[in-house]
Structure 1
Amino acid sequence: MRFKGTFNFVHSSKYFFIFSIVVTILGVATLSIFGLNYGVDFSSGTNVDITIKKQVEKTEVDKLLSKYEMSKAPQVTMGSERINIRFNEVLTDKMEKQLKDDFSKVSPGSSFEVNTVDVEIAKELQRNAIWAVLLSSIGIIIYVSIRFEWRFAIAAVIALLHDAFMVISVFSIFRLEVNLPFIIAILTIIGYSINDTIVIFDRIRENLRFAKLRNWNDLAHLVNDSVYQTLTRSINTVLTVLVAAVCLFIFGSESIRMFSLAIIIGLAFGAYSSIFIASPLWAVLKNKEKKTSTAKKPQQA
C-alpha cells in the first residue's frame, strides 16, 4: 500500500529547516556553556555497579558514601536490584575494598562490577569517538557519490549529521550522561538514517529517469511523489525498531538505559530528516543546477 496525500514536503521544507536550525543553535549554545555530561568512560573516575541481594535504602547508601572525602559527591542511581555509583575521582584499592566491605555488611552476597578510567584514557576515548563519526561520514559521502551523485551525497550527510547533532543537543540540554554506549548509539543512528535516506533517494533516481523537469514545481512534484511512494516502508521500519528500543528503555538494565534513549531520539529524528530535510535539500541543490545550466544556454548560443 502506498500513501496518497496532498501535503507538499518540498514547499513546506522551509519550516522544517527553520525548526532544525533553531534546535541546532540551542544545542550549540548549550554545548558552549555547559558542555556534555560525560560519564566515567569519557572523564576520569570510577563507576561501580552493585547487584544487591537485599533491599537497601537511599539513606543507608548516602551514609556509607559520606565517609569518602571527595571534591564532588558521587552520583547514585537506585534500582530494585541494582545500585550504580559514579565517583568523579579514581578510587584507590583501599577505598574500593572498603566500599565492597561496607555494602556486603548491609546487603550480604552483593556482587560488584568496578570500572575505572584515568584522565589519559578518557581523552583518548573522546578522540577515538570523534574520529569514528568523521570517518563514517566520509565513507558515506564516497559511497553515495559513487552510487548516486554528489548532490545526493551532500544532502544525505547533512541529514545524518543533523540526526547525530540533534541527539547530542538533547543530551546536552537535559544534562543526560554521555558514555561509550552513547557513541555506539550515535553510530547506529547514522547507519539507520543513511539507510532510510537511501531508500527515498533510490526512488527519486528511478523516477528521475522518466520525469520531464521544466521548472521548480516539476522538481517538487517528483520529490513529493517519491516520498509518498516510500512513506509506508519508512513508517513501518521506524515503528518496528522504535518498539524494540522503547522496550529496551523500559525493561532493560540501568547500564543500557541512556543507549536506548539515544536510539529512540535518533530514530525519531532519522525518520524526520530523511523525509523533511534530505529530500527537499536535494531538490534545492538540483534546482540550482537547472538554473545555472539555463543561464549558460544563451551564452553558448
Structure 2
Amino acid sequence: MNFNTKIRYDFVGNRNKFFLFSALLTLAGIISLLLFNLNFGVDFKAGTNMDISVGKAATQQDAKDALAKAGIEDVTPTVGGTGNDRVSARFDEVLTQAKITEIQDAFKAKYGDQVSAEVNVVSPDMAQELGIKTIWAILIASVAIMLYVMLRFEWRFALAANIAILYDAFVVVALFSIFRLEVDLPFIAAVLTTIGYSINDKIVIFDRIRENLRFGQFKNREQLAEMVNASIWQTMARNIYTVLAVLIVAVCLFIFGSESIKLFALAKIIGLTSGAYSSICIASPLWLLLKGKQQPKKAAKVSTQP
C-alpha cells in the first residue's frame, strides 16, 4: 500500500537497535542508582540553604573566604544574580541560628552592612515527606496520562505511550545519577514537564497512525509496519518544530540563566531530546509489537456525497 510518503529511514525495521540502546541506557541508570543513588540537594535531605545578597560584585573565592572566616571550609558557594551580587551556599546539616548569624557577620565584614540573607532549612522529616510526594506525583501523572490515552485511543496506544514517557523520565534521572548532578525541586518540575511534552509528540504520531489505520486495508504485518513508518514521517516536521521551539528556550536558559536554574534547564534539554527520540523510535514500534498478529479492521468507506 502506497502512502505517497518518502520514507528516508526505516524506524520500524531498525526498532531492535533502538530497543537495545534504550535497554542498555536503562540498565546503566539502574546500576548507577543502586551503587551511587542520586545526588540529592538540600530539598531532599536535611540541610540549610543560604541565599546571600551582598550588594556588589562578588567572586567565588571571596565567598569561600567569607565562609572560611565563619569556620566552614567544605562548602563551595555559587555566585550569580545581576552583577554577580548574590551568593548561594548549601550546607548538609541544619545550621543553628548562632551559626547562621556568624556566617552573615562574616559576609558583612567583607561586603558591608548592606548584606542580607534568605535562609531555608529542611528538616529530616520534611525531606522524607518531599521525596514520598515526588514519587506519588510522577505515578499519578503517569496513570492519568495513560487513562487519557486509553479513552482517546485504545489500550495498546496507552501502554506504549506510558512505557515511553516513563522511559523519558527515567533517562533524566539516570543521567543525573551517572554524572552526579544535584537533584532538587526544580529538577522534579523538569521531570514532570518532560512527561507532559513527551506525551504530546506521541499523541501526534498515534493520531496519524489511527487515521491511516482507519482508512487503509492491510493484508499482512509488513504493510502495517509500512503504515507506521509513513505515519512517523508524515508527522516528522511538526514534531521536530515543536520540540525545537522549546529546546531553544531550554538551551538559552542553560547558557544565559543563573546558576539556580541551570540544572533545571539541563534536565529539560535531556527530557525533550529523549521525548522526541522515544516518540519515534520506541512508542510507535512498541505499539506495532503490541498489535501482534491481530488484523486491523477493514477500511471505512468515505462518503463522497455532499
Confirm or deny a common fold (TM above 0.5). Answer: yes
- Using the TM superposition, name which of 252-261 and 202-211 deviates more: 252-261
For residues 202-254 of structure 1, the C-alpha deviation after alignment (integer angstroms, 9 at most, x for no partner) is 01001101222222211111101111111000010111101111111122222
Matched, 1:206 2:204: no
Contact preservation (8 Å) 1:73, 1:87: no
Confirm whether residue 13 of structure 1 aligns to residue 15 of structure 2.
yes
1:90 aligned partner:
94
Which residue, out of 10, 23, 31, partners 1:29? Answer: 31
Higher mean C-alpha deviation, range 170-179 or range 82-91: 82-91
Partner Cα separation in structure 1 for residue 95 and residue 156 of structure 2: 52
2:225 aligned with 1:220: yes
Question: Is contact 1:45-1:116 (8 Å) kept?
Answer: yes
Is 1:44–1:88's contact at 8 Å kept on the other side of the alignment?
yes
TM-score (norm 1): 0.91
The residue number in structure 2 matching 1:255 is 260
Gaps in structure 2 of 5+ consecutive residues: 297-306
Q: Which residue of 2 aligns with 1:105?
A: 109
In structure 2, the partner of 1:116 is 121
Give the aligned residue type for 2:117.
F
Q: Identity percentage over the alignment?
A: 53
RMSD between superposed Cα atoms in Å: 1.9
> What is aligned with 1:78?
79
Cα distance in 2 for residues equivalent to 1:52 and 1:64: 11
Deviates more, 1:282-291 or 1:216-225: 282-291
Q: TM-score under structure 2 normalisation? A: 0.89
C-alpha distance after superposition, 1:104-139 (max 9, x if no partner)? 221222332221101000000000000000011111
Question: For structure 1, which segment, 217-226 or 43-52, has the greater mean C-alpha deviation from structure 2 after superposition?
Answer: 43-52
Cα displacement string for residues 118-164 of structure 1 (whole angstroms, at most 9, x for unaligned residues): 10000000000000000111111111111111000000000100000
Aligned twin of 2:164: 159
CA distance in 2, matches of 1:56, 1:198: 48
**Equivalence for 2:303:** none
Whole-Å Cα distance in 2 between the matches of residues 170 and 251 of structure 1?
Answer: 22
TM-aligned CA deviation for residue 257 of structure 1: 1.3
Q: 1:244 aligns with which of 228, 236, 249?
A: 249
Number of residue pairs aligned between Structure 1 and Structure 2: 289
Q: Distance in 2 between matches of 1:144 and 1:35?
A: 32
